[in-house]
Structure 1
Amino acid sequence: MKSVDPIVETDLAAYVDNQLGINRRIEVEAYLSENPQIAAQVMADLSLKGELRLALADQNRAARPQTRDAARRLEGALSRGRLFSTLRRAAAVILLIATGWLANAYVGPFGATSVVASVQPPAFVEEAVRAHQTTLLRETMHSQRETADYDANDIRAATGIVMPAVPKGWRVMDVQIFPSAFGPSVEMAVSPGKGEVLSLFAVRPGNFTVQQALPFASGVTQASYWQIGEVAYALVSDTRKANELNGIAQKLAGSLY
């Protein structure tokens, strides 16, 4: 769908702030789907806005009322426009320090934190974890033949899902199309080496958004999930630490641009 009015910076800011009408929002999403670099910038803005709100919502940290008021004013200033990335990151660091969140939970530039990890993930993440467990079960059954023939173009043509580039040195062990609540999903078992098995799950959840990789834990299973446009992804492992898995997920997401 082509917009009669060109998409400008104020439209992108309003999109991040969820202040667009449905028609204009659809036009902006169509524009983002055709401009991946700008979509990545919007994804960073959405991620930052979410982290700011999580920091402000954390009621377990002690902070003076004046500090919280200043933090809220800073969030309001950020919501009124998309700032340069350096200023935006600097403001976010100041905010996180002010709310007491950074000192105990910060593990890297906008990386996994205890606050982020406690957020309820989208439904597709739970499906990714179940698919991972099914893959591990298949590994133990000699009667279940693995399908290591991997054709990214074939998967895209059949499902509309674009898979990330498999890192050099990784081995594709199995690729399956699984049913899900959202339609066909792709479950890929990959081995980075040393007998380790990771699962890369992809599905079209029925909405358009851009979301940086975020961590999720289910018992001993760790997952890192993200979304680019109409396709959502999750990287799942029983052996990797959350921060390490999230870093790998960010690199996989980067291969899609």
Structure 2
Amino acid sequence: MSGPHAPIGEDDLQAFIDDRLGAERRGVVESYLAEYPDVAERVATDRRLRDSLRADLQAKFAEPIPLRLRIASIRAAQRARRAGVLRRAAAAAVIFLVGGGAGWIGGRAHEAPGARLAFGGGGVAPVAEDAVSAYRTFVVEVAHPVEVRAANEAHLLQWLSKRLGRRLVAPDLSEFGYRLMGGRLLPGGGGAAAQLMYDDPSGRRLTVYVQAATGTETAFRFRQEGEASTFAWIDHGFGFAVTTTAGREELLPVAEAVYRSFDGGSEAGPAQKG
């Protein structure tokens, strides 16, 4: 069911937060929020996150547009890409005719539908996907959950900072009951990525994931995949993600603390109430 009378879903709430709804649908969502104060409070919190992150990045928006992002440059790049596609298509046709097309097609048929290209895309979604994948891979490890343990924290952070090209810190999450176990270097986003792992007294594990990322999304994005919950965001050319089995409301203040740690320890986090 679609249209103004369709049930309110997460996509509607995200569109409302980002001011992307039409007037009619916006009225329906506002009526829904008036009926459900707990959801309204969550939406208000997400809006504060968005506004705070946008304010933090306002200086970047005020800078002159880089040459690579100007219309003339983009059009020139598009023309070059189209020419490259035509050249590759022609080459593929030659390979198909000369080398035997049936085997080539058969090999491509084994690819998973909708698979994301290793160097394609941009934004928060690929960061969250990579973070969840790394979380699922290493959170179950007993003998080797991390590559370098917390006892060598200084060495770990220096090593990861050098490989990622930015200064990394290990956020202090002790107020939430988590202690640093250590971390590891991973491939991610066409380059290097870092994963820091924490655990609490019950043995529950949490990971903080960092990789270079493209995109201009300045709000936290929440992702639920099975038992794994993730908050992800992009800031100054890097994507960040916090993943664990906690629910959204429990994970949000942890994500805010991680954000503040990487933002240089600013006093007001993205969800701070005015």
Corresponding residue number in structure 2 for 1:247: 253
Report the CA distance between 1:49 and its aligned residue. 8.3
- Equivalences for 1:134-145 in 2 at 5 Å? 134-138=137-141, 140=142, 142=143
Contact 2:170 2:196 (8 Å CA) reproduced: no
| Aligned with 1:160 (options 140, 165, 171) | 165
Corresponding residue number in structure 2 for 1:68: 24
Contact 2:221 2:232 (8 Å CA) reproduced: yes
Change (3 A) 1:145 1:153: closer
Change (3 A) 1:246 1:124: same
Would you say 1:223 and 2:230 are equivalent positions? yes
Change (3 A) 1:193 1:164: farther
Contact 1:112 1:246 (8 Å CA) reproduced: no
Corresponding residue number in structure 1 for 2:99: none
Corresponding residue number in structure 2 for 1:178: 186
Report the CA distance between 1:209 and its aligned residue. 3.0
Change (3 A) 1:50 1:150: farther
Corresponding residue number in structure 1 for 2:40: 106
Residue by residue over 1:157-191, the C-alpha shift from the partner in whole angstroms, topping out at 9 and shown as x without a partner, is 22124435522534221311111233110011112
Would you say 1:127 and 2:130 are equivalent positions? yes
Change (3 A) 1:230 1:172: same
Report the CA distance between 1:213 and its aligned residue. 2.1
**SS, match of residue 220 in structure 2:** strand
Change (3 A) 1:144 1:216: closer
Equivalent position amino acid for 2:44 in 1: F
CA distance in 2, matches of 1:195, 1:49: 37
Aligned residues: 167
User: What is the percent sequence identity of the aligned residues?
Assistant: 14
Contact 1:112 1:243 (8 Å CA) reproduced: no
Contact 1:190 1:198 (8 Å CA) reproduced: yes
Change (3 A) 1:189 1:53: same
Contact 2:232 2:242 (8 Å CA) reproduced: yes
Structure 2 stretches lacking a partner, 5+ long = 1-13, 48-122, 265-274
Equivalent position amino acid for 1:51 in 2: I
Corresponding residue number in structure 2 for 1:51: 17
Change (3 A) 1:182 1:146: closer
Residue by residue over 1:94-123, the C-alpha shift from the partner in whole angstroms, topping out at 9 and shown as x without a partner, is x7973534543324363369xxxxxx9511
- TM-score in terms of structure 2 length: 0.51
Residue by residue over 1:178-207, the C-alpha shift from the partner in whole angstroms, topping out at 9 and shown as x without a partner, is 1123311001111244322101111102x2
CA distance in 2, matches of 1:247, 1:177: 26
Report the CA distance between 1:224 and its aligned residue. 0.6
Report the CA distance between 1:52 and its aligned residue. 3.6
Residue by residue over 1:57-115, the C-alpha shift from the partner in whole angstroms, topping out at 9 and shown as x without a partner, is 6xxxxxxxxx639x6xxxxxxxxxxxxxxxxxxxxxxx7973534543324363369xx
**SS, match of residue 148 in structure 2:** coil
Change (3 A) 1:228 1:181: closer
CA distance in 2, matches of 1:146, 1:216: 26
Report the CA distance between 1:144 and its aligned residue. 6.7
- TM-score in terms of structure 1 length: 0.54
- Equivalences for 1:9-48 in 2 at 5 Å? none
